[in-house]
Amino acid sequence: MQSDVIIETRNLTKVYRDFWGRKKVHALKALDLEVRRGEIFGLLGPNGSGKTTTIKLILGLLFPTAGQALVFDRDASDVSKNERIGYLPEESYLYKFLNAEETLDFYGRLFDIPRAVRRQRVADLIEMVGLNWAKRRQLKEYSKGMTRRIGLAQALINDPELIVLDEPTSGLDPMGTREMKDLILKLREEGKTVLMCSHLLADVQDVCDRIAILYQGELKEMGRVDSLLKVRDVTEIRASGLSAVAQEEIRQAIERHQGQVLSLDNPVTTLEDLFVNIIRESEEHPGRRVRGVSQK
Amino acid sequence: MVVDLIDVTPFLTWLFGPGWTEGFLFHTLPLSVFLLVMLGGLVWLVRAIRAKEGLTSPTVGVWISVTLTAAILVLLIGLTVWKSLPAETTASISAKFVQPLGWLLGNQWYAGAAYQWLKTAIGATGLVFATALLILALRRGPREAFVVTGQSLGDTVLDVLRMSPRRVAALALLAVKESIRRRVVVVFALFILLLLFAGWYLDPQSVDPARLYLDFVLTATTYLVLLLALFISALSLPADIKNRTLYTIVTKPVRTSEIILGRILGFLTVATVLLVAMGGISYLFVLRGLAHEHELTADLLQPAEGTKAEKDAKQIALRGATSRVHHHRHKVTITPDASGAGIVERETQPEQGHVHPIKVRTEGNQTAYEIGREQGMLLARVPVYGKLSFRDRTGQPTEKGISVGDEWTYRSYIEGGTLAAAVWSFEGLRSEDFPEHLPVELSIEIFRTYKGNIEKGILGSLSVRNPKTGKKVEVRFFEGKEFVIDVQQIPRRLSTPDGKTVDLFKDMVDEGKLEVWLQCAEPMQYFGVAQGDLYLRARDASFFLNFVKGYVGIWLQTAIVIALGVLFSTFLSAPVAVLATLGAIFGGFFSDFMYRLATGKTYGGGPFESIIRLVTQANVTSELEPGLRTNVAKTLDQIVEFGMRLLASVLPDFSRFNFAEFVASGFNIPGDTLMAYTCRTLGFVIPIFVAAYLCLKNREVAQ
């Protein structure tokens, strides 16, 4: 029986030193983390807070100054753990002279996947990330969004149990962001574990089950997103079809119970929702969109 | 032909010492069993380790460390004790130790390269282990150092044994694609361009155009391919680290050993393809560049002088020269055969190292001469060398000849008109190898104490002597010329001055042994000779194969350069890695000189002593004034020399890998030399691979 803890860090510490061994940055201070099977775990923090350092330590790209990072109960320096990991780096660091098919085939070989399986999986993944039309083009001709997609495809080539995503939505347009988030949620449905880091709070809020907030290399907060964000002393009421009179009545009712009305207003949708709606609408009804465009 | 290419006997001699034939192991049956058991054991070990998961546990790590430390201590103490023992004791112990192994491996196994290699490997492993232990002990304390060092040594072995061929192939293919993307083809285009314009500066009037052409193509190929190997190998890994493409590689289940090996193999593939292409084109270029035919018409020939009777019988030889093609013409002598009706088919006189066959056709009164294509231009002579010794002017054996004051002491001189002689002793001559005559080729240097007739050579004589009976027969006098290979033939039947004939092999050769004596006949003139100057030309090997062997030599050098480039690129940035590799190559080319400098075999001392000489304008051979200054300089020099000696013994000696000289001067590259240098290349590449592995393994890729 496999343990339910996929990633465990114990007292994980990283100090960057310069050439002479002098201390430069204390990037990570004694981090203790646990990521469990089947959850989406988000590392949150401003730039330079130690998110990426943590991920690199977990992947064995850096060696810890002290402490230990365990993945699937193996030390991070053991390459065999990589069999079950998919990693999407911050920017997709791929070979620009290969095309999409060659890229995926190459990474497939690195997993020692037999030829027939490899071919099938490469075709499926290119289909999934929607790059079928560009699979023969060298990556240097790709746009940022396309590079990101092929990067994601290479991270999934081995059908990994753990997916590590470093700033998964950076550089993506709103549609791409939404697709990425949907995909992450889909991966969870398939029973995979996701570790992601981001400084885009909205993204983290939308997909993560649990988050850890880092600041200057220290763990400041960790827990379930819904419980962390729940504001316990505020009640939200949402209703439709209320007249102004009815609204006034409700306001009075609240005041009668010694409550304080914070706001009573028509809600505003998020820009992301608006944007996504417009795009979806345009795809369904191509042509010039009249409504919403200001008339001069 | 294959036997010629891989001559096993001398190779085994090189590997296990001259006595290997007496070893029990080298009989067919024990050898096959031994090889099978070794192979089976290796396969079993690899499979067993590959089936197991996980890394070296701390317990095993400690075990490895303890065992190795104990082994090093025992070895060190043993060596110290050994050196302090009296000579007789060590001799008797070593006899006891050597003899049982002699039964198995032959009585001189310790003289072979295998033993030296083993010794070096053990020394290197010990050194790496001790250094790692020391560094870790200083940084993390002795306890952890013991565990970690042993563990990482164990992991290294596991890592190498668990390599996956598919991953290595994928990484090699990537390296090939990367090289193509870096426009390797440009180098090939450059080579073609070089060949196109080569005609401008290859001197067409040269004495030996074949040598010129071969030298040119081999040198051009060597430098181009080595430079290319240097750049593609040293730039690749730093670029991957800088672009961070390595992140996506090392986060896959890729072992460090696979990254290194894949790269080396990939770049080697590129270099191989390039070498094959360049070699093919070069071969055609040389063939076409040297191909030519002459014409010979009747008006180019003049009848030689002769008696009237000969003239009447139409037995006068015709003399003349062919038409001028490729800046030379051949002298020809056409002799009518005894009947006078036909004419003997002959060859032209040699010019620029080749001859042409002549065919004569007579139709009625018309005589037509057909001159064929050049022959003997591209050769792969297989020489049989003898051992050179000297006789002084009174005929007594002496170690060396006379020095004529030449700084280059390669050749030693014999005085003319005296009993002084240079004697080459040959062994293993068999009559069936030389059915017609014993072909002797010699090239000598001449030192004249007076000018004499400068147009003419100095007369010398060649004799053979039976080493057992001491019977000596003069073969012929000849005109000694400089800078050319003089071809002499010792006939099977020799005539003695008293009118008798002796058989060369029956009377002169004793159990395959024969001495060839060279003497200078003119007083006050000297012949300079070295061991390689006179040899028997047993037969000719295929020139094409020899040409290929020359390219194999370049390939071996390329392999070392690629390995070095990859090694330096594991821990240095791109430009520094290029410079370091370049430094190693240059150092390698001069490692011989460095070694001589470091061991005090050159004049003028080390760098500090040389500075004193420079400043004080002292001659390199004069003794320096004793005193503090000189002592300080000499002590400092000793420190530098120690470093240089270390460096010289570590760097690959590229100059010796260069077989171009063999091919260009038309000598066969011996198969065992090639094998020996192949092993030598492996001897360099394997430790470089291990060093590169350790460097990359312990590097933080993401920093």
Domain that holds residue A242: 232-265
Residue B645 · residue B587 · CB < 8 Å: no
Chain B residues touching residue A82 (CB < 8 angstroms): 251-254
CA distance B640 to B609: 11
Q: In whole angstroms, what separates CA B558 from the centre of its chain?
A: 15
Side chain identity at residue A80, one-letter code? S
What chain B residue is nearest to A59 in terms of C-alpha separation? B251
Instruction: Say yes or no: A276 and A258 in one domain.
Output: no
First to last CA, chain A: 68
For residue A144, tell me if it sits in a domain.
yes
Interface probe with B: pick from A61, A105, A118, most Cβ of B within 10 Å: A61
Instruction: Say yes or no: A256 and A128 in one domain.
Output: no
Q: Which of A262, A258, A212 is nearest to A236 (CA)?
A: A262
Domains in chain A, number: 2
Instruction: Say yes or no: A33 and A153 in one domain.
Output: yes
Residue A217 · residue A28 · CB < 8 Å: yes
Q: How confident is the model at residue B341 (pLDDT cuts 50, 70, 90)?
A: low
Q: How confident is the model at residue B554 (pLDDT cuts 50, 70, 90)?
A: very high
Inter-chain CB proximity A61 and B245 less than 8 Å: no
- Beta partners for B527? B414, B446
Inter-chain CB proximity B253 and A154 less than 8 Å: no
For residue A291, tell me if it sits in a domain.
no
R_g of chain B computed on alpha carbons: 32
Instruction: Say yes or no: A261 and A161 in one domain.
Output: no
Say yes or no: ipTM exceeds 0.90.
no
Residue B568 has pLDDT above 90, yes or no: yes
Q: What per-residue confidence (pLDDT) applies to A291?
A: 53
Chain A residues touching residue B181 (CB < 8 angstroms): 97
Q: Does B165 touch chain A (CB under 8 A)?
A: no
For residue A293, tell me if it sits in a domain.
no
Residue B348 · residue B295 · CB < 8 Å: no
Instruction: Say yes or no: A220 and A237 in one domain.
Output: no
* Residues B18/B22/B24/B25 CA torsion (nearest 10 deg): 20
Spell out the domains of chain B, with CATH numbers in brackets: 2-161 (no CATH), 166-290+542-697 (no CATH), 298-371 (no CATH), 381-540 (2.60.120)
Inter-chain CB proximity B253 and A110 less than 8 Å: yes
Instruction: Say yes or no: A151 and A244 in one domain.
Output: no
Side chain identity at residue B72, one-letter code? I
CATH number at residue A98: 3.40.50.300
CA distance B107 to B94: 12
Chain B residues touching residue A93 (CB < 8 angstroms): 243-248
Instruction: Say yes or no: A93 and A216 in one domain.
Output: yes
Instruction: Say yes or no: A9 and A40 in one domain.
Output: yes
Residue B106 has pLDDT above 50, yes or no: yes
Å between A62 CA and nearest CA of chain B? 5
Inter-chain CB proximity A106 and B252 less than 8 Å: no
pLDDT tens digits, chain A, 296 residues: what are they?
Answer: 456 888 999 989 998 887 777 778 888 888 888 899 989 998 888 788 888 889 999 998 888 888 889 998 888 888 888 889 999 988 778 888 898 999 999 999 999 889 999 999 999 999 988 888 888 888 888 888 888 888 989 999 989 999 999 888 877 888 888 888 888 899 899 989 999 988 787 788 888 888 888 888 888 878 887 777 777 777 777 777 888 888 888 888 888 888 877 777 776 667 677 767 777 777 777 766 555 444 43
Residue A86 · residue A158 · CB < 8 Å: yes
CA distance B305 to B317: 8
Inter-chain CB proximity B703 and A93 less than 8 Å: no
CA atoms within 13 A on the CB side of A32: 2
Chain A residues touching residue B246 (CB < 8 angstroms): 93
Instruction: Say yes or no: A221 and A249 in one domain.
Output: no
For residue A100, tell me if it sits in a domain.
yes
Can you tell me whether residue B462 is helix, strand or coil? strand
Can you tell me whether residue A196 is helix, strand or coil? strand
Instruction: Say yes or no: A13 and A65 in one domain.
Output: yes
Chain B residues touching residue A16 (CB < 8 angstroms): 703
Q: Which of A124, A141, A129, A213 is nearest to A172 (CA)?
A: A129
Which residues 52-71 on chain B approach chain A with CB closer than 8 angstroms? 53-55
User: A80: Cβ–Cβ under 8 A, 6 or more apart, which residues?
Assistant: A74, B53, B54, B253
Indicate the residue of B181, B245, B253 with minimum beta-carbon distance to A111. Answer: B253
**DSSP string spanning B509-547?**
-BTTBEEEEEEE-STTEEEEE-GGGEEEEEEE--HHHHH
Which residues 97-156 on chain B approach chain A with CB closer than 8 angstroms? none
Written as six digits, the tokens of B429 are 């001559």
Residue B589 · residue B656 · CB < 8 Å: no
Written as six digits, the tokens of B33 are 């069993």
Tell me how far CA of residue B609 lies from CA of A18, B586, B602, B647, in angstroms. Answer: 39, 24, 12, 20
**Could you tell me where the DSSP H helices lie in B328-480?**
none
Confidence (pTM): 0.82
User: A290: Cβ–Cβ under 8 A, 6 or more apart, which residues?
Assistant: none
For residue A296, tell me if it sits in a domain.
no
**B126 burial type by CB count under 10 A (0-12 exposed, 13-18 middle, 19+ buried):** middle
Instruction: Say yes or no: A157 and A261 in one domain.
Output: no
For residue A165, tell me if it sits in a domain.
yes
Instruction: Say yes or no: A190 and A63 in one domain.
Output: yes
Å between B248 CA and nearest CA of chain A? 7
